[in-house]
Amino acid sequence: MSVQAKKAAPCDYYGCISWQPPVPVGESLQDLEQKQEALKLMTTEMTPDIQILRELMKHTYGLQRRDIIEGQNALELKEIWPFLFTPAGLDVHFIELTGVPLIETIAHRPTAVKYTQLSISSDHLGRNFIQFQQRLNRLRLQCVMIHPRFLAC
């Protein structure tokens, strides 16, 4: 299983700085898959180390993108990338994808985020995108309840 480049349409990478990154220099695909397995094992821990989690999510970003670009549905992604659906994991992924810290941005500009409309047709993305939006809204609420400035998420 290799990370092959898929030709992106302009709308696929609009706003993205790292749409489909290659395997990092000095790392092999096997190294990244081992890190992915380490992330899966962390889900069994009562309180996983957030710093380690964030570092592993950052290192495996290319594999995450590969699976997303290949069209894995949300349930499959949650199984193979469980932390992608947590505030910390989503934040790391979004930072790598866009260069923008999602949680800090939401914390400092909640009204701007609330009224921003995505220029993506929900018909094109289907049910998975709608489910993602619903999950993101729940994560925002959880972050507000956990920490007023979202920094712990």
Residue 19 lies in a domain: no
pTM score, two decimals?
Answer: 0.63
pLDDT at 19 over 50: yes
pLDDT at 89 over 80: yes
Residue 33 lies in a domain: yes
Residue 64 lies in a domain: yes
- Tally of structural domains, the chain: 1
Give the domain extent around 118. 27-146
What pLDDT is attached to residue 110?
54
Spatial contact of 68 and 30, defined as CB atoms under 8 Å apart: no
Residue 22 lies in a domain: no
The rounded distance, in Å, linking the Cα atoms of 143 and 141 is 5
The rounded distance, in Å, linking the Cα atoms of 50 and 152 is 9
State the DSSP H helix or E strand holding residue 49, giving kind and residue range, or none if neither. Answer: none
Tens-place pLDDT, residues 104-150: 777 766 554 444 444 444 444 555 666 676 777 777 666 655 555 54
